[in-house]
Structure 1
């Protein structure tokens, strides 16, 4: 029975003609099945130029300008619009494999494009072992061409090699010839993911399936390299009935083996804003706290403060108003584990916990029943303490999250050009605000889930939703 199921899944799995040593591979099993994704991108592109299909169409083929929304741009060069396309991006060039509807037309059009780009070099196809190949130098540098067998064609272009032929072009030609030489093997990972388009990042062990419609983009994938702890299976959570609120709302069931890792990352941040806190004591408290947690965690980020100081580590730590809740196994034991905090520099004992004055602000730590809550904002911390219900509920996934894109857009707007000048690591956030900020401000929500997978990997899903009407 297992062998039959496996055989059936492999039969249904897409079979990309992916080049070896690729940094990124994009596979579309049927180019005419992308209407839903293109509809989302067209609408999203009205607010973010980066999302417009025309921006990435240029990457689909080394020398043909293709528009998947206009089938005539494919049939006009002999490519079958109902067939697949696999684009392999390598450090030294790219290869694009397609199924042809008209082989002769493809060769004619390719000869014209290659002659134009190749300093008027005569395009002479050669055939060996049933594979027809073309390789010409490009006026802009590097080599371009294609390998063709039957109705399968893999076109390629190599990176600029300067004035000396380093052999990159021949290497790309050899790989393209290999790809058309035999039928590709089905990729079972793709068969397990819903999607009309797949993105693979081999070096990161990541595969993502993409689907969608005019108001929704859906991503589901697997990865073996996400820097995340292992999670428990789906099940009961003390935060299961809580309504998502704030800029970020995320519930997780961390596996016992990952609790120390998760708590340790929090301790590193605390040590950074509290350099006067004794490292040995911080480590000791961290271990004691981790040993007394069930693994059920809730993270709430309410918003980004107005005009935060993003040019210092402590300024960035306090920029987002946030709090974390964690379920404890034994309240009395947790109180004992936290007792050394009273002796930390800047610490004050409160009715149900501690406050810690550190560089840039104050940390709030409260223990209420079986809930340990820590935050960098008094109002957010208090609100979370009050919001935790007395009864929990089962969750379908180990992790779920909801993002308010409008609040994210407002937060991105807080990053100024002067912040980037002072701290170059903020350049990516600043660019994201410019490119995606307007789209996020017009989006409805972003939500998703994550589960641990066999072999130490993770499976995840994200849904980006736009309003029903523009």
Structure 2
């Protein structure tokens, strides 16, 4: 009984978007006039990134009306309610935008003007079972129109011959009250984005963007907050600093990823022995990990695996249960090609550089740069401390911008992944260079999902 009441309360508090069926992506704003803080951040960030400027995305809010949620008068002038909700559903055959009407006559007049200007001749509404609807063809192709019932309206813009289907969908959407979406109720936000298995809530102020969400099928191991971590008291440094508590079921996955990377840059290393060492070490790990990516220095073409690996100067630390057992498990490394024995571990000369594997008490540190590896070892604290989240991170946006800026044009033309990085650098690089910090956390969620949060901070405006 109690659980049923909790579920009912949760659903009642959850946003209720009028989402079209078969929507690939849904954007929902529970209250348009509550977007002031988020809009203020986007407006400021947009001075350095064109894609974040309000004018770059506000045209997507409605298929044929020009409205700006940052200017309530544009909504009122179109007969829409500035304090009402908005839901935009993007489908393969077009989009549907549902909002609340404050003045139906004004809305219909403005809609008729816009549709006539777009080539939709003879805009004649029809009314059936309390729903007033319009559907006209556009001179540029496709169709547009709306369905209006009471104070609810859903407008559509259809591709090719999908006008009838989207009109029918719009009529259905205004015909009944929308159901609360429990996915959106799990995260806070002034605006929501849902696509695939990912739901994101967005909010902000003039200099801070808050992002919180849930996602399924991320290529990450399951996390499990352990309360105490040997890395919790360490001060974040470098480009990316992350403390992670991996669940027992995910330790093998995490080790397997590192093993595959090392094998790629050391094809001469005996594959069976590399696998054997990795399996033996995985059994001794507690799941507490530290990732320290200090900086990016690209030397050559990033299409080569070894160049990619050594471009990010980094070290990974992992807590072990039995240092003696780990040392014994790692002993075969001394017989690998190019191996050099150190006082506290080994250095493996591989294609493109050296991999350092070192032990300090119950800390195993693996790095691809001697200076970063040494610095990580030296910074390891003598005692652990409480860690609030299963995973947290601190990102230096300026170092990230400099790293992204090192992707070469020849690599961009030959590799889709590198082309994507180049696009991110071109679009967000100037904003990253002018940002103060980016922090966040991540936890596991039921059903193999992950919950995440990010805070992007710009310097205080002067």
> After TM superposition, is the score higher than 0.5?
yes
Alignment of 1:380-391 (within 5 A): 380-391=372-383
Q: Is structure 2 residue 178 aligned with structure 1 residue 178?
A: no
Q: Is structure 2 residue 371 aligned with structure 1 residue 379?
A: yes
Select 2:398's aligned residue among 394, 406, 417: 406
Select 1:305's aligned residue among 297, 301, 305: 297
Alignment of 1:98-137 (within 5 A): 98-118=99-119, 120-137=120-137
Cα deviation 1:330-379 (Å, max 9, x = unaligned): 01110111111122211121111111111111111101111110011000
Which residue pairs with 1:88 in the alignment?
89
Query: 1:328 & 1:271 partners in 2: Cα distance?
Result: 22
Which residue pairs with 1:197 in the alignment?
191
Which residue pairs with 1:437 in the alignment?
429
Q: Tell me if structure 2 keeps the 8 A contact 1:38–1:69.
A: yes
Select 1:278's aligned residue among 262, 270, 282: 270
SS at match of 1:406: helix
Q: How many angstroms does 1:273 deviate by?
A: 0.9
Q: Is structure 2 residue 454 aligned with structure 1 residue 467?
A: no
SS at match of 1:303: strand
Alignment of 1:2-401 (within 5 A): 2-118=3-119, 120-159=120-159, 161=160, 165=161, 168-201=162-195, 203=196, 205-305=197-297, 307-401=299-393
Report the CA distance shift for 1:370/1:458 in structure 2 as closer, same or farther (over 3 A): same
Q: Tell me if structure 2 keeps the 8 A contact 1:308–1:319.
A: no
Q: Tell me if structure 1 keeps the 8 A contact 2:154–2:170.
A: yes
SS at match of 1:59: helix
Query: 1:417 & 1:22 partners in 2: Cα distance?
Result: 36
**What stretches of structure 2 of length at least 5 have no aligned partner?**
none
Q: How many angstroms does 1:423 deviate by?
A: 3.4
Q: How many angstroms does 1:117 deviate by?
A: 1.4
Q: How many angstroms does 1:171 deviate by?
A: 1.1
SS at match of 2:253: helix
Q: How many angstroms does 1:154 deviate by?
A: 0.5
Q: Tell me if structure 1 keeps the 8 A contact 2:436–2:458.
A: yes
Q: Tell me if structure 2 keeps the 8 A contact 1:308–1:414.
A: no
Q: How many angstroms does 1:277 deviate by?
A: 1.6
SS at match of 2:308: helix
Query: 1:347 & 1:176 partners in 2: Cα distance?
Result: 67
Q: Tell me if structure 1 keeps the 8 A contact 2:353–2:368.
A: yes
Q: How many angstroms does 1:437 deviate by?
A: 0.7
**Deviation >6 Å, runs of 4+:** none
SS at match of 1:58: helix
Q: How many angstroms does 1:307 deviate by?
A: 4.9
SS at match of 1:228: coil
Cα deviation 1:133-162 (Å, max 9, x = unaligned): 111111111111111111100001112x2x
SS at match of 2:220: coil
SS at match of 1:287: helix
Q: Tell me if structure 1 keeps the 8 A contact 2:298–2:307.
A: no
Query: 2:339 & 2:169 partners in 1: Cα distance?
Result: 64
Query: 1:418 & 1:364 partners in 2: Cα distance?
Result: 31
Q: How many angstroms does 1:295 deviate by?
A: 0.3
Q: Tell me if structure 2 keeps the 8 A contact 1:308–1:316.
A: no
TM-score by length of 1: 0.96
Q: Tell me if structure 2 keeps the 8 A contact 1:251–1:299.
A: yes
Query: 2:150 & 2:388 partners in 1: Cα distance?
Result: 48
Which piece of structure 1 moves more, 135-144 or 2-11?
Answer: 2-11
Q: Tell me if structure 2 keeps the 8 A contact 1:19–1:88.
A: yes
**What stretches of structure 1 of length at least 5 have no aligned partner?**
none
SS at match of 1:362: strand
Which piece of structure 1 moves more, 219-228 or 405-414?
Answer: 219-228
Query: 1:194 & 1:129 partners in 2: Cα distance?
Result: 37
Query: 2:420 & 2:332 partners in 1: Cα distance?
Result: 39
SS at match of 2:201: strand
Q: Tell me if structure 2 keeps the 8 A contact 1:206–1:225.
A: no
Query: 1:17 & 1:73 partners in 2: Cα distance?
Result: 22
Which piece of structure 1 moves more, 176-185 or 192-201?
Answer: 192-201
Cα deviation 1:378-423 (Å, max 9, x = unaligned): 0000110111101010111000000000100111121232331343
| Aligned-residue CA RMSD (Å) | 1.3
SS at match of 1:447: strand
